[in-house]
Structure 1
Amino acid sequence: MIQVCAQCGTRWNVRDRQRVWCPRCRGTLLAPGVVPPVPPQPGNPDPRWRPPAGASRPSGPRQPGALPQGFKWIAVRPGAAPPPRRQRRPLGATPRYASVPRWSLYGPPGEHAPGDVVDTAAVRGPSTTMVRATLVTTMALLAFAAVMHIARYALLLINRSVLLNPVLAAVVTWAGVVASALALFGVIVTAVVLTNWLIARRAGVFAHNGGTDPRSKWQLWAGCLVPLVNLFWAPVFLIELARAEGRTGLRITAWWITWVFSTVVSVMSIATSFVSDAQGIANNTVTTTIAYLLALAAVVLVFQVFQGFESRPVDRPVKRWVMVATGPHDEQSPPPDADSAPPVENEDQNPAA
C-alpha cells in the first residue's frame, strides 16, 4: 500500500498499515488512492500541495485489471510483516584466562588419558605458591650475601693504603656474617620444602601409573638432605620422576653440574675460612663470593626445573569430556560433505520474496 506525502510528494510503501506522518519531512500522509489537489490560485502556489512526480488524473474510465491511483504492485513476503531484527548487545572485551579453564565434563573416576596425572590432594605436600616463594626468597638471600662479601673485599683493598673507620669495618663484617647465616637458613628451608614436594609428586605420579613409588620416604629424605649424598641421589630421583611423567628438556643435568661445582667451591670456602693473615682473608672472601654466586645459579636452575614440572599441574587432567549430538546414523559413517548437506528450502515450495 502506497501513501503520498502532502508536503514533499514522496511515495512511501506502508505495507498493510496506514500511516499518518511522513518519515522524511514530518508532513501529512494522504490516504491511499488520494492525489493532492492543485491550489485554485495560480498566483499564490503552495508547494505542499503539488501533485507527486508522475501522478496524473485519469482521463477516462479505468482499464480492467489496472490499479487505482496511488497503488502499485510490489513483491512482499506472504503474510504479515516480519518482526524487526533484535539488536545484538555488545559482547564486551575478549575473555582472558590466567590459567587453563577447567569447565567441561570429566570422565568416570579412575579413567584418564595417557600422560595425565591424578590429583595428589591425598598426599600432603607444599603448595606451588609456597615452593615458589621459598625459592625466590632464597635467591634474594644468596644475592644479598654475595653483594655483602663483594663490599667486604672492596674494603679490604681500600684498607691496604687507608685506615678504615672502626664502625664502618664492624658494620660490613657483621653484615656479612648475618647475610651468610640467612643464606644458609634459606638453603636448608629450600631443601626441606623441595624434598617434601618431590615425595608428594612422586607418590601421585606412580599411583596414577598403577603402582607405588619404588623409593620409600626415608630413602627420599636421606637422599635429598644428607650432605654429599644428595649430590648423587637427588638428581636421580628427579630423573625418575621426569621419566614417569614422560617429560624431557627440564635442564636437570645443567642444574646437577652447577650444584656439584657450587658444593665444591663452598667446601673450599669453609676450609680456608680459618686463616688469619690479610692475604688469606682476602682469598677466602673471593672464594666465598664465588660460592654464593654458584649457589644462586643452582637455585635459579632448580627453580626452572620446578617450573617445568608445574607447567601442567598435577590436579588438572589434560583429557576433557564434552557433549555431542547422537543420531540414528552409524558412528563409523563418514561425516556428510558440503554436497550432501540438507537443502535450505523444502521441495515444491518457493522461497520467500
Structure 2
Amino acid sequence: MNQIQVCARCAARWPVIGPPAQWCPRCSGVLLVPVRSDAYLPPNRRGFRWIARTPNAPRGVGDPRPPRQNLSTPHYDAVPQWGLTDIVDTTPVAESRAERMADRVGSLLALATVLYGLAVFAEIGRYAILVRNQTRLIPQMLLTASDAAVYFTQLGGLLCAVLGAVAAVCWLLRQRREQYAREKRTDPRSRGEIILGCALPVLNLVMPAMYLLELVRRDPRGVRLVKIWWAFWAFSGLLLVVNAYWRSRPGLQAMADGVLLSAFIALIAALTAALTLLVVRRIEHKDWRGEPESATRWVPVPRSVLEQSKEKETAAL
C-alpha cells in the first residue's frame, strides 16, 4: 500500500519514496508522519490543529463556535506590581573568613617587614653585647632588654609572617578566580592543588611562583618582579636549613656566629616580605601603599619644543 505525507501548512500530499521527508517541497512546511493513501483525512479532520487562545480561555479540544471579538479598551484590573516599584534586596553579603584574610594581606606583610627589620638591629645589638662582654661585665638590665627585643621582634615577625602567608594564599585564590572570570576562562588549577602547592614543604618553594607567573604572564615588569621575589623566597628557605645546621654546632664561637646568621636571616625575611607586598600590589595595579596607580605614558619631546617652553617661562618672569 502506498504511503503519503501531508504538509501541515499547505495540505499538499506527497508520496513517500525511500525514507520519510521532513519539509514540503512546495512551501517548506513541516511534513506529517507518513500515512496510507486511503487513510488520508481532510484538513478539518486531522489529529491536531493550531488554536490561538487567550490566557484565561478554557483548555479543551476545539470550540466550534467562533471566538467573540472583544472591542473594549485594554486596561489593567489592578495596579501593576513591577517596574520602578521593584524592591531590590541591598543587604550586604557577609564575607567569608578567607575573604577577610585576603583583605588583610597588605597589613600583615607590612607588619612582618617592620618586625623583621627591627629584628636585624636587635640581633646586631646582641652581638655587640657579646663582643663587649669579652672585656667587661654587662649590666643585667641591658641583657634583659636585649633578650626581650630579640624575642619580641623574632617571634612577632614569625607570627605575622605565618598569618601573612595564609592571607597571601587566600588572596591568590581570589585573584586567580577574578582574573579568569574576567577572561571568561576556567582556572586550570583546582583550589586544593593551589593550597597543597603552597603548604607542602619543598614544593612550596617552587609552586607559588608558578601560580603568580600565570597571573602576570602579560606584564613584563610583573614577571621580572615575581622572578626576583622567587629568588629571595627560595634563598630564605635555604637559609632556614643552614641555620638549623649551624645551631647544632657546639662552642661559644659558633653561638656568636649564629647571632650574626640570625641577623642576616632576619634581613632576608624582611626583604622577602617587602617583595611579597610589592608583588601583591603589582597584580592589584596599586602602589605599595595600596592606592590605585595612575597610568603614565612617556612621550619623546624634541629639544626645540623644550627650548621654546623655557623661553616662554623666562619671558613670563
Smaller-chain TM-score range?
0.5 to 0.7
For 1:148-185, what per-residue CA distance to the aligned partner results, in whole angstroms no more than 9, with x for missing partners? 11111110110111121233223312431232211111
The one of 246, 270, 274 equivalent to 1:296 is 270
The 1:124–1:175 alpha-carbon spacing in structure 2 relative to 1, beyond 3 Å, is: closer
8 Å Cα contact 1:266-1:288 kept in structure 2: no
Is 1:152 aligned to residue 126 of structure 2?
Answer: yes
The 1:188–1:200 alpha-carbon spacing in structure 2 relative to 1, beyond 3 Å, is: same
For 1:222-259, what per-residue CA distance to the aligned partner results, in whole angstroms no more than 9, with x for missing partners? 2112232111000000001112xx32211000111111
- Residue 211 of structure 2 corresponds to 237
The one of 132, 155, 160 equivalent to 1:186 is 160
Structure 1 residue 139: Cα displacement: 0.6
The TM-score normalised by the length of structure 1 is 0.50
| Structure 2: distance between partners of 1:210 and 1:191 | 28
8 Å Cα contact 1:268-1:287 kept in structure 2: no
The 1:277–1:215 alpha-carbon spacing in structure 2 relative to 1, beyond 3 Å, is: same
| Structure 1: distance between partners of 2:97 and 2:215 | 16
Q: Which has the higher contact order (CA 8 A, sep 6+)?
A: 1
| Structure 1: distance between partners of 2:198 and 2:102 | 19
| Structure 2: distance between partners of 1:159 and 1:228 | 40
- Residue 59 of structure 1 corresponds to none
The 1:146–1:218 alpha-carbon spacing in structure 2 relative to 1, beyond 3 Å, is: same
| Structure 2: distance between partners of 1:309 and 1:303 | 10
Q: Secondary structure at the match of 2:247?
A: coil
Is 1:175 aligned to residue 171 of structure 2?
Answer: no
The 1:186–1:150 alpha-carbon spacing in structure 2 relative to 1, beyond 3 Å, is: same
User: Equivalences for 1:263-278 in 2 at 5 Å?
Assistant: 263-278=237-252
- Residue 248 of structure 1 corresponds to 220
What is the RMSD computed on CA atoms of the aligned residues? 2.6
Is 1:206 aligned to residue 180 of structure 2?
Answer: yes
Structure 1 residue 129: Cα displacement: 5.6
Q: Secondary structure at the match of 1:272?
A: helix
| Structure 1: distance between partners of 2:122 and 2:103 | 29
Structure 1 residue 221: Cα displacement: 1.2
Report the number of matched residues: 193
Identify which range, 229-238 or 255-264, moves more after superposition.
255-264
Is 1:308 aligned to residue 282 of structure 2?
Answer: yes
Q: Kindly, what percent of the aligned residue pairs are identical?
A: 24
8 Å Cα contact 1:123-1:200 kept in structure 2: no
For 1:95-134, what per-residue CA distance to the aligned partner results, in whole angstroms no more than 9, with x for missing partners? xxxxxxxxxxxxxxxxxxxxxxxxxx99963487622211
- Residue 89 of structure 1 corresponds to none
Letter in 2 for 1:277: G
- Residue 197 of structure 2 corresponds to 223
Q: Which runs of 5+ in 2 are unaligned?
A: 1-94, 293-317
Letter in 2 for 1:131: V
Q: Tell me which structure has the larger Cα radius of gyration.
A: 1
| Structure 1: distance between partners of 2:286 and 2:276 | 17
| Structure 1: distance between partners of 2:167 and 2:102 | 11
| Structure 1: distance between partners of 2:96 and 2:144 | 51
8 Å Cα contact 2:108-2:161 kept in structure 1: no
| Structure 2: distance between partners of 1:198 and 1:123 | 14
| Structure 2: distance between partners of 1:129 and 1:188 | 15
- Residue 281 of structure 1 corresponds to 255
Letter in 2 for 1:130: R
The 1:202–1:277 alpha-carbon spacing in structure 2 relative to 1, beyond 3 Å, is: same
Q: Which runs of 5+ in 1 are unaligned?
A: 1-120, 317-353
For 1:64-88, what per-residue CA distance to the aligned partner results, in whole angstroms no more than 9, with x for missing partners? xxxxxxxxxxxxxxxxxxxxxxxxx
Identify which range, 195-204 or 272-281, moves more after superposition.
272-281
For 1:286-341, what per-residue CA distance to the aligned partner results, in whole angstroms no more than 9, with x for missing partners? 1111111011111111111111111179xx9xxxxxxxxxxxxxxxxxxxxxxxxx
